[in-house]
Structure 1
Amino acid sequence: MKLLSKKHGDYFEAHKGCPWMLVWRDPVTKKQHRRFEAEERRAREAAARIELQINARVSDVVPRVLTFTAAKDVFLDQYPPGATRDEYERTLDRFGTFCGKPDSEQWTLRVLDRFKQKRAADTTHIGKGEDGKPVPVRGTTINKDLRNLARFFNWCRARYDTPNPFDRLDRGEKRLKASPKLKGYWTPEQFKQFIAECPDPEWKAAAILGIHGVGRIGDIRRLTVANLDFERNYVLMTRANAQQKTGKEALCPIQPKYMAILADYVNHLPDGQVKLFTSKLHHTSWEYQVGKAKLPHLAFHWLRSCLVTWSVDAGQPIEWSSRLLRHSDIKVTRAHYDQANELKIAQRVVDNLPI
């Protein structure tokens, strides 16, 4: 049957026996109608339940109270099933578990402080070491949880006029943030110790590439064997997310003694292997290798900070390190690497004055 016209979602089609007659046909089946009606009914019931809870008052003096569970249900209903909804749901579940599902009267900075302390000490993230034993890993998404909570409290305040503990204007206090982690630092001797004692050849090769400024852990994962030039001792680093064509490729020099270690690592790879690393190079495995070498905690990304610090201590200008790390601005290097300040450079210049 041929479709003749369409207006406001109603479909008209020719009758089988009488082509000159138009018959209305609804494209939505009865099963879809029932599903749509059930979803609308559940949404109306949830909205009515919330309205009843926030409008229930003991007296005119008692402020409106919004329960955490009801607010969470309506807040999550506005997001379709997917990664965003799951992320908010995990954050709110952690908040309810750590803080006891407080109502709107208890949404204060003290509750957020309690959540921050318990979230920082959370060891529910369990990784596995090389021997298969579970290795507890501290939570690393505290700031993301705080951002999700801020969005939740802002939504509750805009819709139900509830207090927002993140609002510095009402509370007169600064916005709550997780205390920044102390940046780890290795000396050159400690890095050499890690290369000598690390039993995992993949992490040994990745650490060599990271300390030479080849790229971040995501860039290192994408490297192939063809990116290594053993004759001229450099690595061709490519970035898939670079905005400009000039930033997609860069040549990174490697010291000859460490290039020999990389050559030995490549020689032991299976024949025909294209990628340089077969594992995902997860941070939990890195922390396990650092602990096995009996070295202080150091995130893999902070190897770049060590590179800047060592170059500044050696008397090199910080601009050279910024170019090596391919930062868009020198301010980025100064902001992310506190130990690499220009005072050390100025001190060395003054000490070497021919006077």
Structure 2
Amino acid sequence: MPKTRTPHVYSYEKDGSTLYYVTFYCKQWDGTNKKIKKMGFTRQADAARYEQEYRDRLAGSPAMTFAALCDRFLDDYKHHVRESTYLTRADAIKSFFVPAFGSTPLNELTPVMIREWQNGLISSNHYKPSTLSNLHGMLVTVLNFACKYFSLPRNPAAIAGGMGTLKAKKENQHYWTREQFARFILSGFAPEHIAIFSTLFWTGCRAGECLALTAKDIDLEHGIMDINKTVTKAAHGYTVGPPKTTNSRRKVSMPKPLTMILADWIRRTDAKGNDRLFTKKRDDCLKILKRRAKKLGLPVIRLHDLRHSHASMLINLGTPPKVVQERLGHASIQMTLDLYSHLYPDKQKDVADRLSQYF
């Protein structure tokens, strides 16, 4: 436990009201003493708590509040993940974890408290099983950070157990067939949207990978697309950076009609070298996709479902799983099989029929 100190709290008058401020010196990571001053507290106790939490946070004490731990975790986390991942996780922590546990000292956070919080989320019926599972995983990660670096003796979230599931009901996943996509793409679009949607459907690339494409990434002579970067969400808009994983860097052969569509678009825009091919944003493309699907009576899908549609088409064509994995840029063939194993049941009968020929 940290030493108990007399808080350095003082009062002052402002606009006829009594407010409080705290000022103290605290040793920093580099060994220097820094003067800390924080004003504007309406209660003396809040000012005193600010000093104690500041000292606990700097010392990494397990008596620090959960909110203080989250600050420390996020300060570290942003150096190890993509900015888009950091922003997503930070939003979850601030929206779900801090309101529930923020004022609780780490060494007073129990599995029962976490279990009750989980039950509240589950009973609300507001969240998908995958969302619940991701939230639990993130809470475990934050508290593992406390166990590893700040002497928390055990992880109460791990003891509480999980909630939800990451395995989505694959029978509810949506795909478009080639015929459905043809109805969609022939319903009348601007040339840029034709190029974007066709690229997504006929290559299976991710939306961010598609929107990051430049002129030099398209080898029109050999019909090959070089996927080597992606557009991701940043604090102020979007940024272009490296692809999701090492396996995401890949060269994808394009069907001739798609090569012709992209050749026409490049000619229209006179794009060269590092010129980005597309100016549209992901959200705008999604809105157009959903609006047109409703109008045509097609299943309403996400942009990412065009990638699933491509995978489904490859499997129906008898493409080996390893080739599907390489084309989609999955980290492993196991990921491909986990995602699309439900599309292979009829293949079992094909195997049995072939084996029968050898009896």
Give the TM-score of the pair, scaled to structure 1: 0.58
What residue in structure 2 maps to residue 176 of structure 1? 163
Larger radius of gyration: 1
**Whole-angstrom CA distance in 2 between matches of 1:346 and 1:287:** 36
Q: Does 1:253 align with 2:254?
A: yes
CA drift of 1:188 comes to 1.9
Aligned residue type for 1:110: E
Q: Deviations over 1:224-269 (max 9, x none)?
A: 224434455x13314255899999552512233x333333333332
CA drift of 1:42 comes to 8.7
* SS of equivalent to 2:269: coil
Aligned residue type for 2:346: K
What residue in structure 1 maps to residue 53 of structure 2? 46
What residue in structure 2 maps to residue 304 of structure 1? 307
What residue in structure 1 maps to residue 11 of structure 2? none
Identify the range of structure 1 (269-278 vs 77-86) with the bigger mean alpha-carbon deviation: 77-86
**Whole-angstrom CA distance in 2 between matches of 1:101 and 1:245:** 37
What residue in structure 2 maps to residue 235 of structure 1? 224
**Whole-angstrom CA distance in 1 between matches of 2:78 and 2:125:** 21
**Whole-angstrom CA distance in 1 between matches of 2:301 and 2:36:** 53
**Whole-angstrom CA distance in 1 between matches of 2:353 and 2:290:** 39
Aligned positions, number? 282
Aligned-CA RMSD value? 4.9
**For 1:9-20, what aligned pairs fall within 5 Å after superposition?**
none
> Which of 164, 177, 182 is 2:156 aligned to?
164
* SS of equivalent to 2:213: coil
**Whole-angstrom CA distance in 2 between matches of 1:253 and 1:89:** 38
> Which of 322, 325, 329 is 1:322 aligned to?
325
What residue in structure 1 maps to residue 21 of structure 2? none
**Whole-angstrom CA distance in 2 between matches of 1:155 and 1:225:** 43
Q: Does 1:268 align with 2:273?
A: no
Unaligned runs of 5+ in 1: 1-31, 51-65, 122-137
Q: Does the CA contact (< 8 Å) of 1:91 and 1:149 recur in 2?
A: no
CA drift of 1:45 comes to 2.2
What residue in structure 2 maps to residue 73 of structure 1? 68
Q: Does the CA contact (< 8 Å) of 1:214 and 1:220 recur in 2?
A: no
* SS of equivalent to 1:38: strand
**Whole-angstrom CA distance in 1 between matches of 2:219 and 2:142:** 51
CA drift of 1:73 comes to 2.9
* SS of equivalent to 1:199: coil
**Whole-angstrom CA distance in 2 between matches of 1:228 and 1:189:** 26
Unaligned runs of 5+ in 2: 1-29, 38-47, 58-62, 80-85, 230-241
What residue in structure 2 maps to residue 135 of structure 1? none
Give the TM-score of the pair, scaled to structure 2: 0.57
Percent of matched pairs sharing the same residue: 15
* Higher RCO (C-alpha under 8 Å, 6+ residues apart): 2
What residue in structure 2 maps to residue 55 of structure 1? none
Aligned residue type for 1:148: M
Distance 1:224 1:49, change over 3 A: closer
